């Protein structure tokens, strides 16, 4: 067996089958059926196929735990019943000219400053990686364990252009890596952050066409406009309407070909790009399987689709809510779509309103809801609330699990500063409906 330091158990649910089998807090899981455990991926890979034994280290002693009866009860129980210590994340050594993390000022929540470049985070959580630090051993593991799909930040397939974008003169050609993954049947979703004058126009078209050569293993490509905060030190050309229109035209021209040939799209504009171009948001069907929803591609179409399906007279439990004041909010880009739904709720007797929060912290060119700080929310809403107000906060504004804004402001802080009740809702139309029906 290869040497392994193992993975430490931080918490185990004491009523669980894993606890009954003999696992305890603080144990170090060394191996499953002789396979060394490096991280949670190994547990998911080796632990979900009816394993027989686990090798544990406790108080300096090693011993085996019989898993045979355990997995007859619940397949995958180790990953379900136990919380393991998180692996050390590999960080990025690029100096991307548009890097959002490098633009961040001091004083925000600590996790925001981690510039991860780790294929494990890509596989587990959909984080984008450039592949500039991937090793042969990493690739062999991805191949052996079929860690798919991965999320790749391509930006440009012209390697000279890509080196400029990444601020990395040593960056190897990304197409070599993509070709290797495709050859080994690893699926990928790619993104292109478009910087006007650098990787737009002809360079963008070439990049999309190059990636299409590896379809269907390159499953989708998202095209995202450059985001500039007021903290960016390097002067980059901002996205204006004409550049946005030209970019969308390239995407649509190529996508029409892909759809005719395959019956589905391949490259998709981010919602923010369509808004900058003053294009109508397409229907939900345009986005096929919503591969890049977490990248802001199709989120508005999904919201609109949900609102159209909701028959408010049937969906709303008819309570007397006339005396209950409810408010919510969004960033500038999403606000018109949210407001349209809020008006429908008002017409059905719900005392609710929505407000647009401008991003003073990062600059008003940053318009997405997920990048609003608690202080900007307070500044906008402070004169619009009374003590009988309930404020509904979209969950995209908060760190999952900790319920804190980007600027480390907590839900409790907001309640105390605004003197209102605060609740968190799912950032969907049904999230609002469900809150209303439950109160």
pLDDT tens per residue, range 191-246: 999 999 999 999 999 999 999 999 999 999 999 999 888 888 778 898 999 999 99
DSSP state for residue 397 in the 8-state scheme: G
Q: Which pLDDT value is given to residue 230? A: 86
Residue 92 lies in a domain: no
- Among 30, 53, 84, which residue terminates a domain? 84
Residue 1 lies in a domain: no
Q: What is the CATH number of the domain that holds 180?
A: 3.80.30.10
> How confident is the model over 80-104, as a mean pLDDT?
83
Is 66 a residue whose pLDDT tops 70?
yes
β-pair partners for 404: 410
272 and 132 belong to one structural domain: yes
Residue 177 lies in a domain: yes
Evaluate whether 189 touches 219 at the Cβ level (below 8 Å). Answer: yes
107 and 193 belong to one structural domain: yes
pLDDT tens per residue, range 16-44: 878 888 889 999 999 999 999 999 999 88
119 and 12 belong to one structural domain: no
127 and 240 belong to one structural domain: yes
Residue 410 lies in a domain: yes
Residue 302 lies in a domain: no
Evaluate whether 212 touches 258 at the Cβ level (below 8 Å). Answer: yes
79 and 109 belong to one structural domain: no
242 and 366 belong to one structural domain: no
pLDDT tens per residue, range 391-438: 999 999 998 778 899 999 999 999 999 999 999 999 999 999 999 888
Nearest to 189 by CA among 159, 163, 223, 166: 223
106 and 29 belong to one structural domain: no
Q: How many Å apart are CA 113 and CA 227, to the nearest integer? A: 17
Q: What is the CATH number of the domain that holds 430?
A: 3.40.50
406 and 319 belong to one structural domain: yes
55 and 125 belong to one structural domain: no
Residue 1's pLDDT band, with cuts at 50, 70 and 90, is: very low
pLDDT tens per residue, range 300-356: 999 999 998 888 766 666 555 666 899 999 999 999 999 999 999 998 888 999 999
Residue 77's pLDDT band, with cuts at 50, 70 and 90, is: low
pLDDT averaged over every residue in the chain: 90
Residue 89 lies in a domain: no
Task: Give the chain's domain count.
Answer: 3
Rounded to the nearest angstrom, the gap between the alpha carbon of residue 387 and the centroid of all alpha carbons in its chain is 35
179 and 324 belong to one structural domain: no
The parent domain of residue 257 ranges over 101-294
pLDDT tens per residue, range 128-184: 999 999 999 999 999 999 999 999 999 999 999 999 999 999 999 999 999 999 999
284 and 328 belong to one structural domain: no
Residue 265 lies in a domain: yes
Q: Which pLDDT value is given to residue 73? A: 46
80 and 111 belong to one structural domain: no
pLDDT tens per residue, range 357-397: 999 999 988 999 999 999 999 999 999 998 889 999 999 99
């Amino acid at each position: 067996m290869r040497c392994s330091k193992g993975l430490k158990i931080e918490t185990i649910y004491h009523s669980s089958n894993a606890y009954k089998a003999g696992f305890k807090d603080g144990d170090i899981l060394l191996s499953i059926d002789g396979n060394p455990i490096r991280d949670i991926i190994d547990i998911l890979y080796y632990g979900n196929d009816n394993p027989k034994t686990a090798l544990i280290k406790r108080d300096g002693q090693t011993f085996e735990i019989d898993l045979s009866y355990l997995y007859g009860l619940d397949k995958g129980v180790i990953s379900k019943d136990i919380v393991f210590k998180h692996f050390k994340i590999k960080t990025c050594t690029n100096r991307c000219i548009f890097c959002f993390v490098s633009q961040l000022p001091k004083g925000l929540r600590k996790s925001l400053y981690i510039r991860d470049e780790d294929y494990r985070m890509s596989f587990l959580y959909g984080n984008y990686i450039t592949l500039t630090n991937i090793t042969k051993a990493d690739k062999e593991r991805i191949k052996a364990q079929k860690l798919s799909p991965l999320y790749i930040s391509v930006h440009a397939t012209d390697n000279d252009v890509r080196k400029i974008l990444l601020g990395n003169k040593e960056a190897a050609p990304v197409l070599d890596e993509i070709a290797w993954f495709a050859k080994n049947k690893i699926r990928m979703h790619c993104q292109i952050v478009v910087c006007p004058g650098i990787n737009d126009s002809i360079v963008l078209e070439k990049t999309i066409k190059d990636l299409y050569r590896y379809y269907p293993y390159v499953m989708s490509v998202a095209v995202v406009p450059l985001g500039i905060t007021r903290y960016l030190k390097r002067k980059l050309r901002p996205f204006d309407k004409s550049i946005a229109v030209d970019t969308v035209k390239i995407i649509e021209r190529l996508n029409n070909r892909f759809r005719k040939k395959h019956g589905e799209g391949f490259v998709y504009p981010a919602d923010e790009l369509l808004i900058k171009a003053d294009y109508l948001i397409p229907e939900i069907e345009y986005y096929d399987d919503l591969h890049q929803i977490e990248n802001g591609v199709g989120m508005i179409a999904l919201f609109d689709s949900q609102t159209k399906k909701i028959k408010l007279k049937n969906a709303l439990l008819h309570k007397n809510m006339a005396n209950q004041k409810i408010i919510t909010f969004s960033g500038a880009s999403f606000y018109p779509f949210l407001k349209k739904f809020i008006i429908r709720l008002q017409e059905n007797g719900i005392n609710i309103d929505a407000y647009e929060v401008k991003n003073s912290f990062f600059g008003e060119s940053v318009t997405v809801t997920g990048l609003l700080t608690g202080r900007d929310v307070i500044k906008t809403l402070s004169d619009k609330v009374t003590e009988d107000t309930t404020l509904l906060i979209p969950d995209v504004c908060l760190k999952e699990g900790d319920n804190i804004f980007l600027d480390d402001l907590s839900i409790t802080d907001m309640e105390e500063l605004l003197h209102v009740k605060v609740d968190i809702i799912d950032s969907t139309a049904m999230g609002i409906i469900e809150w209303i029906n439950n109160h």
